Amino acid sequence: MWDKVDGRIKIAMSKIRLAFRAVISIVGSDSGVQLIQGQGVAGETLQDNELFQHYGFTSNPPAGTMAIVIPVGGKTAHGVIVATEHASARRKSLASGEVAIYTSEGDSIVLRHGRIIDINTQTLNINADNVVNIKTRQLNVDASEEVNANTPAVNASQQVTVAGALAANGGMTAKAGEGGGAAVAIDGEAHITEDVVAGGKSLVHHEHQDSNGGVTTPPL
């Protein structure tokens, strides 16, 4: 009796499709759940199978991506894809415990041992409507050509040191801080092409009273 029961169970189970491998060819990414077209290992065609991904994470797998398909109800036509892998695109040689986000073009974010995060790309855009805050002990910027800031004002709470020439095309103002001291201290020559006004007196156009009570001419 039990042999017959077991036999019928085996026959019934054999008609139910188990999880199988497939290769993705096309991804429809415009719908709420991405729809996949591809080929199963047995040659069957996958048509509009759903690609399930974890909340907060989404990707559009390129053609040639391997997939694991779960046939809901044992039917291939009702299969859902629960895992994908792309051997040539996957970031390799990670140490145990390291994590990477990557693309088929070679861009990557790698969380490495030692609490190090590496970001590799050609163009990095950060868009924040309100504020970007960076808090660190030291911030280094290594730009081989230039650094540009398109902003009404740049503020620094402490000293700013410039190793090369400082160009101020729109003018320059300086004010002594609290506790007195010179607003500007120059160690070396100053070459000025126009007039200098100090304490309301013009360096170029000022006059003196001579010993005879007359007025001297301006400096030559």
How sure is the predictor about 159, in pLDDT bands with cuts at 50, 70 and 90? confident
Per-residue pLDDT at 56: 96
Q: Which domains does the chain have, with CATH numbers?
A: 2-85 (2.40.50.140), 91-123 (no CATH)
Please state the separation of Cα 7 from the chain's center in Å: 59
Torsion of CA 8, 10, 14, 16, to 10 degrees: 80
How sure is the predictor about 145, in pLDDT bands with cuts at 50, 70 and 90? very high
Residue type, 166: L
| β-bridge mates for residue 197, sequence order | 202
CB contact at 8 A, 61 and 81: no
pTM for this model (two decimals) = 0.77
User: Which residue did the predictor score with more confidence, 219 or 103?
Assistant: 103
Nearest Cα residue to 21 out of 42, 4, 35, 41: 41
Q: What pLDDT, in 10s, does the model give residues 34-77?
A: 999 999 988 888 999 999 999 999 999 999 999 999 998 878 77
Per-residue pLDDT at 74: 79
Residue where the block lists tokens 């189970």: 13
Residue type, 33: V
pLDDT at 220 over 60: no
Per-residue pLDDT at 143: 97
Q: What pLDDT, in 10s, does the model give residues 202-219?
A: 877 776 666 676 666 666
| β-bridge mates for residue 67, sequence order | 22, 84
